[in-house]
Amino acid sequence: MVSSVLCRCVASPPPDAAAAASSSASSPASVDPCGGAVCGGPDHRLRLWSLFQTLDVNRDGGLCVNDLAVGLRRLGLHRTEGELRKIVQAGDKDLDGQLDFEEFVHYLQDHEKKLRLVFKSLDKKNDGRIDAQEIMQSLRDLGVKISEQQAEKILKSMDKNGTMTIDWNEWRDYHLLHPVENIPEIILYWKHSTIFDVGENLTVPDEFTVEERQTGMWWRHLVAGGGAGAVSRTCTAPLDRLKVLMQVHASRSNNMCIVGGFTQMIREGGAKSLWRGNGINVLKIAPESAIKFMAYEQIKRLMGSDQETLRIHERLVAGSLAGAIAQSSIYPMEVLKTRMALRKTGQYSGMLDCARKILAREGVAAFYKGYVPNMLGIIPYAGIDLAVYETLKNAWLQRYAVNSADPGVFVLLACGTMSSTCGQLASYPLALVRTRMQAQGNAGSGPVPTGSSPRAGRGLGRSWQTLMGASLTTASIEGAPEVTMSSLFRQILRTEGAFGLYRGLAPNFMKVIPAVSISYVVYENLKITLGVQSR
């Protein structure tokens, strides 16, 4: 019945006007089988009314979720409650929770337009049919690799005449009362840069579906992601500060352990000192995320892509450029974050005082110390994170995705954790050099206890003040010559070996799993608060 009420016209016109005229003269029905009823003629409307009555099981003149579930089941179409609710929400203009006949007709017409756009994007050969190779190519462009057998399985679910190709009518009949298409569904379920925050905002931005853009859901996702990042960073701030201290002050002769580091921080400034630098780290989330998202969208337009989503290599280029623009815009906040994390008690009264003193003593250029290694670190971080995440995503989709692209919480958490960890590992030497360059000129930074006991400072080897004196070659005091990125790399390799480029890696990795878990939980709860539709 669903097929009988729909237009059976061919999806594309004859190749030239002569052919069209000849075809029209000899057999009008071959071009317009429904005799004009297709585009809103009376016969077509009567057929839609017949379908509406069939679906309206309780005969109240409106289609609710229950009506659609029962009615479509009678017609041999099985849809989940979430899918049916989505149909009602999309067509319910008067917000009464059901579709009257006019709303039903408008929904079918609007949805058919969207389906035609998707069909054309999949029809690479522009012959009015989709075959297995075209499905594989379209998904490959989005970074989703499937086998030919999987593509044929997709075809068979829609192919009515056994040709192993799908024409427009078969595509439309299958999807018209099925609101979720495969490609947007994958985009929807597999977001990760918006959801997960591990303290570094260098990942390639997530894609948003056309529906999310049109309904304004995209900004709610960004707000939820920002809130989740703020909570996650605050919860893991002690580990982040310890990482910064170890990056700047630890060396082969001044070994630092995790327990000793925490002990010295608490002894020097109390428990509250564990969160030094966290305020500016949270404040920079909003401008960085907003600038990166806007830059990403503009770069996509400049690249001339008319697709809903970019190919993997295009995403990497656009995401890296957007990350560079965002980092350049907020980089002074990165320097402030490092200086605030390294400060000793009483050195600065707050963020503004820190900024004023840096400007007065070191000039504007001080706010861009370490800028070059920071920019260079974007590419390996974003590239490795994206490659690992897409590889894990494809592996899961090929093996376990049967009826849905929804990976579930634990798969998503595992993939996000592994990709972020690999991205950080690849770019960590550049991050360490950046932090040491940012610390240059920060006189007397770090906790300076009055003494050191073997138990409290076990693993430190000496008091923090002595450690600071031995570390002035990398964190120079005012007036000392500043080192460049290349000379700092050479110095670390000469004095500490390759291991010296990974100081502070342990606390950095320790915070990944709790950071990912906390940001995901907060993100999901904020989505509900902001009215974002459940996945």
| Confidence tier at 215 by pLDDT (50, 70, 90) | low
Residue 16's pLDDT is what? Answer: 39
Q: What is the pLDDT of residue 515?
A: 87
Which pLDDT value is given to residue 28?
35
Look over the chain and give the mean of its residue pLDDT values, rounded to a whole number.
75
User: pLDDT tens-digit profile of 93-129?
Assistant: 888 889 999 998 888 887 777 777 777 777 878 888 8
Q: Which residue has the higher pLDDT, 424 or 140?
A: 424
pLDDT in tens, 405-431: 566 677 878 888 888 888 889 899 999
Q: For residue 207, what pLDDT band results from cuts at 50, 70 and 90?
A: low
SS3 content of the chain, % helix, strand, coil (to 5): 65, 0, 35
Percent of the chain with pLDDT over 90: 21
Alpha-carbon span 183 to 290, nearest angstrom: 25
pLDDT at 5 over 60: no
Give residue 532's pLDDT: 66
Looking at residue 434, its pLDDT comes to 94
Q: Nearest to residue 177, comparing CAs of 275, 294, 52?
A: 52
Max mean pLDDT range (106-115, 375-384, 466-475): 375-384
Of residues 144 and 453, more confidence is placed in 144
pLDDT of residue 361: 92
Alpha carbons 173 and 176: distance in angstroms, whole number = 6
Per mean pLDDT, which range of 22-31, 68-77, 348-357, 370-379 is the poorest?
22-31
Tokens 């993939």 sit on residue: 415
**Which is more confident, 85 or 199?**
85
Closest CA to 431 of 259, 251, 233, 243: 243
Assess whether pLDDT exceeds 50 at residue 182: no
CATH topology of domain 211-442+484-530: Mitochondrial carrier fold (1.50.40)
Domain ranges of the chain: 43-193, 211-442+484-530
Comparing 274 with 138, the larger pLDDT belongs to: 274
pLDDT of residue 244: 93
Strands (E), 279-374: none
Give the tens place of pLDDT for each residue, 363-378.
999 999 999 999 998 8
Q: Which residues pair with 99 in a beta bridge?
A: 63
Indicate if the pLDDT at residue 277 is higher than 60. yes
| pLDDT tens by residue, 221-274 | 778 888 888 999 999 999 999 999 999 988 777 777 888 889 989 999 999 999
Res 62 pLDDT > 80: yes
- Where do the DSSP E strands lie in 47-197? 129-130, 166-167
- Most confident segment among 35-39, 354-358, 528-532: 354-358
Quick check: 518 pLDDT over 70?
A: yes
Higher pLDDT, 453 or 311: 311
Q: Show Cβ contacts of residue 238 under 8 Å, excluding neighbours closer than 6 positions.
A: 262, 265, 274, 275
Identify whether the C-beta of residue 289 lies closer than 8 Å to the C-beta of residue 339: no
**Which is the CATH superfamily of the domain at 43-193?**
EF-hand (1.10.238.10)
